[in-house]
Amino acid sequence: MNYGLRPLLAFTLVLGGLAGGIFSAPAPTRAAELEEYQRKYISFYQLRPVPYDKYVIQGFQKELPRFDYRLLGTGGRGNLLEFLNLVKKYQLENAGQMAANQENDNVKIGDKVVSWSDTKRIMESAYVFATDWSWGEVDLGHLRRKSKNSNTWLIDLEADLQMKLDIYKLSGSQPELYSQQATSWKISKTYELSNFNEILRIVKEATGDAVDPDNVLVQPLIVEVIKKIPFYAQLLNMNPEASLRAEAEKKLADDGSTGLTTEIKRLNDFILKNQIDSADMAQDQVTVKLSGTETVDTLGIGLDQGFKVIEYRMQNGQEVPVDVGFTKVRELANSQFRLQPIIVGRDYEAGDQMIEYPKTGAGIGFSLGTVPLGFEGQEQNMFVPQASLDIEYSLAQASGVSELYFTFLGGMAMPQQANLSQATVPTGRSVDAGASVLPFDLEIGLMKRWYMRQLIFSLGLRGGALAGTLLGSGLDPTPTALGLGGTLLAGLHYQATADMILGLNLGWRYFSNAEFSIAASSGSSTSPVAYPAMNSNGPVIQAFLNYAF
């Protein structure tokens, strides 16, 4: 079942009679004119009040401060594109009256009477943003204990709140749908299960086996029983707008984000543009000055933000934009900012066109290399092959420190087998001969990069856990081990493109002994296993590739 809401909100991007600016045009047929930013207006037109609209407005105000925002009136419009066509027709038919500034308090467009001020703003508009809200299926999930070892169990009522955004372009002869965007939020409300023992009894009767509610394979059976309880069955049949509205408003308010800003900035018509004011290529410094009263804050320009440098070249009789470089913002002043050249196809010059290259600040990478692994009492293997997934997120704008990143690594190494004749074997439950360890580690930390154009030097520090699963042990459940430690890394990287970095990291890591054990039936204690503790102390080598989003 899909619960839909009529289109609720229209955003009108007002040109205000300004030319050029933030919006780019198709490839020119004559000498291209360089473009600079000029402030525009976004007017919000609410077709009817809906509680989620104000949070979207606040999100755009926060994420796109380069626009001024105006709220138009409210009232039903029916088919938005049809109405915009009628406005365009009215504009053409009444050009003389408008030129003479003969304005009325209200204007009849089609069968609608609209205030003149609202009509005029739409006539001056270049774009209209229209949202459409809907709810997805309601479900129960995320069964869990209230806290570790607690006897109280919780479950969530969940549904996706979806927002579609249609962008209409009005600058041509006829309004047209320019782009469609979409985003969603997972909305949930938590309930405490007061009759959980009775629920487990029903599951046990149905399966004929003892029920372990912590077992992820058993939990779906428990959830199905919960869905049949009248209270929860009624919740599942309710419109999520009624059952989850308060949670949705809180989620949207707390997030403070529309989730669409980066994608909208990437649209050709919405890219921020400016020109280089001065370029000192010997010192790798490029300066851009902002026009009028604009500041880096009002335009939303942040530390480490990327800009491409382009020039126009003749191709098939037309001048087309061609990338000649990539830069990143390194210093922010009130009405200007300094950038560092990263990729340089030719020396930059004053007057070169700068085009914003929006990114989310997140990157994902894959690395192959070696790590040290061993067992207590046994000499370590210093070069065990390992593959890793690396995720990073820029902290530059939050911290004010350029090229500072939060990092997460999840790695898995080649299975290892202890030499029981050399290693120290603790007392505990015996394991089958031939058992081997599958090692993996999870770490979080910080990394700092220093750029010398495309060449990059980095330092990183991570801390986390080294874990292992004892495969082929003959024990149930499977024995596991966990040790704490960290890794210190230095790297030499190369910015291959504006999106991609590749390189080599070298470092040292240390993890304390990770002793193998199995969980007791009560779930609150463990039993030792007669297998040597795993450890790690030695060099780390990683060759990696990273892609920025």
On whether residue 183 sits in a domain, the answer given is yes
On whether residue 89 sits in a domain, the answer given is yes
Same domain, 366 and 349: no
Same domain, 325 and 418: no
Measured distance CA(257)–CA(180) in Å, rounded: 18
Same domain, 278 and 151: no
Same domain, 375 and 322: no
Answer whether 161's CB lies under 8 Å from 248's CB. yes
Work out the angle at residue 277's Cα, subtended by the Cα atoms of residues 274 and 282, and round it to the nearest 5 degrees.
120
Same domain, 86 and 112: yes
Same domain, 64 and 182: yes
Of the candidates 339, 349, 320, 305, the one whose C-alpha atom is nearest the C-alpha of residue 24 is 320
Same domain, 383 and 415: yes
On whether residue 36 sits in a domain, the answer given is yes
Q: Which domain holds residue 416?
A: 362-548
pLDDT of residue 113: 58
Answer whether 207's CB lies under 8 Å from 221's CB. yes
On whether residue 200 sits in a domain, the answer given is no
One pLDDT digit (tens) per residue for the chain, 549 residues: 555 544 434 445 444 333 333 333 333 333 345 566 666 666 666 666 678 888 888 888 888 887 777 665 555 555 777 777 777 777 777 766 665 555 566 666 665 656 666 666 666 677 778 888 899 999 999 999 998 888 899 999 999 999 888 888 877 778 888 999 999 999 999 999 988 989 998 888 887 777 888 888 889 999 999 999 999 999 999 999 999 999 999 999 887 777 788 888 888 888 888 899 999 999 999 999 988 788 898 888 999 999 999 998 888 888 888 999 999 999 999 899 999 999 999 999 999 999 999 999 999 999 999 999 999 989 999 999 999 999 999 999 999 999 999 999 999 999 999 988 888 888 888 888 889 999 999 999 999 999 999 999 999 999 999 999 999 998 888 999 999 999 999 999 999 999 999 999 999 999 999 999 987 655 557 889 999 999 999 999 999 999 999
Residue for token pair 């204690």: 525
Measured distance CA(351)–CA(276) in Å, rounded: 5
On whether residue 212 sits in a domain, the answer given is no
Measured distance CA(520)–CA(380) in Å, rounded: 31
pTM for the model stands at 0.79
pLDDT of residue 363: 96
Same domain, 19 and 36: yes
240: phi then psi, degrees, rounded to nearest 5: -60, -25
What would the two tokens of residue 6 be? 């009529």
CA 531 to chain centre: 42
On whether residue 220 sits in a domain, the answer given is no
Same domain, 281 and 296: yes
Bond from prior residue into 65 cis (ω within 30 degrees of 0):
no
Same domain, 341 and 295: yes
What would the two tokens of residue 206 be? 């149905």
The CATH number of residue 483's host domain is 2.40.160.20
Same domain, 293 and 154: no
How many domains, in total, are found in the chain? 3
Q: Please count the other Cβ atoms lying within 10 Å of the Cβ belonging to residue 270.
A: 24
Q: Where a domain ends, among 322, 357, 392? A: 357
On whether residue 196 sits in a domain, the answer given is no
Q: Where a domain ends, among 342, 357, 372? A: 357
What would the two tokens of residue 215 be? 């077992």
pLDDT of residue 24: 37
What would the two tokens of residue 491 be? 């790297």
On whether residue 18 sits in a domain, the answer given is yes
pLDDT of residue 310: 92
Helix axes 116-123, 80-93, angle to 10 degrees: 90
Residue 383 in 3-state DSSP? strand
pLDDT of residue 19: 33
Q: Where a domain ends, among 290, 322, 357? A: 357
Of the candidates 270, 255, 261, 262, the one whose C-alpha atom is nearest the C-alpha of residue 52 is 255
pLDDT of residue 22: 36
pLDDT of residue 420: 84
- DSSP lists the bridge partners of residue 448 as 404, 459
pLDDT of residue 514: 93
Answer whether 497's CB lies under 8 Å from 546's CB. no
Measured distance CA(9)–CA(426) in Å, rounded: 67
Same domain, 174 and 278: no
